[in-house]
Structure 1
Amino acid sequence: MPISEARRKANERYNAKAYDEIKVRVPKGHKAELQAHAEQQNESLNGFINRAIDTQVERDNS
């Protein structure tokens, strides 16, 4: 069932308040590879990317 216009706007307001956005560009076909890997790890693509960033930051700081 599609969400209502009011719910969509409420979600947009919340997301604007709670999150920063970063656009990541990858070569054609690489997105599908990343999505498949994330699914194998039972996580979303966004969750996988965030975990990868956090892991690298921890490595860089140690």
Structure 2
Amino acid sequence: MATKAHLDANKRYQEKLDRVVFYVRKGTKDTIKAHAEEQGESLNGYIKKAVADRYKGDTGNDIEL
């Protein structure tokens, strides 16, 4: 079980982040997640990498996500 200190630290960390929500057709999430795992990545990590790669391709600049 997490300690109060651990929960407080998580809360402080999450307050530094923005949350982005987007929708895909039913079943698509599972398809993307399975592919991400095949690549050794989490779903979140896979999506962040895809966005960063697209951003760099569009602008020529890196972005830290």
Q: TM over 0.5, yes or no?
A: yes
1:22 is matched with which residue: 3, 20, 28?
20
Q: Structure 1 unaligned runs (5+)?
A: none
Q: What SS does the corresponding residue of 2:9 show, helix, strand or coil?
A: helix
Residue correspondence of structure 1 range 27-42 to structure 2 within 5 A: 27-42=25-40
After TM superposition, the score normalised by the length of structure 1 is 0.79
Q: What SS does the corresponding residue of 2:15 show, helix, strand or coil?
A: helix
Runs of 4+ in 1 over 3 A off after TM superposition: none
Q: In 2, Cα distance between the equivalents of 1:35 and 1:46?
A: 9
Q: Residue in 2 aligned with 1:12?
A: 11
Q: In 2, Cα distance between the equivalents of 1:3 and 1:28?
A: 34
Q: Structure 2 unaligned runs (5+)?
A: 61-65
The alignment covers a number of residue pairs equal to 59
Q: In 2, Cα distance between the equivalents of 1:25 and 1:3?
A: 31
Q: Residue in 2 aligned with 1:54?
A: 52
1:12 partner letter:
K
Identity of aligned residues (%): 39
Q: Residue in 2 aligned with 1:3?
A: 2
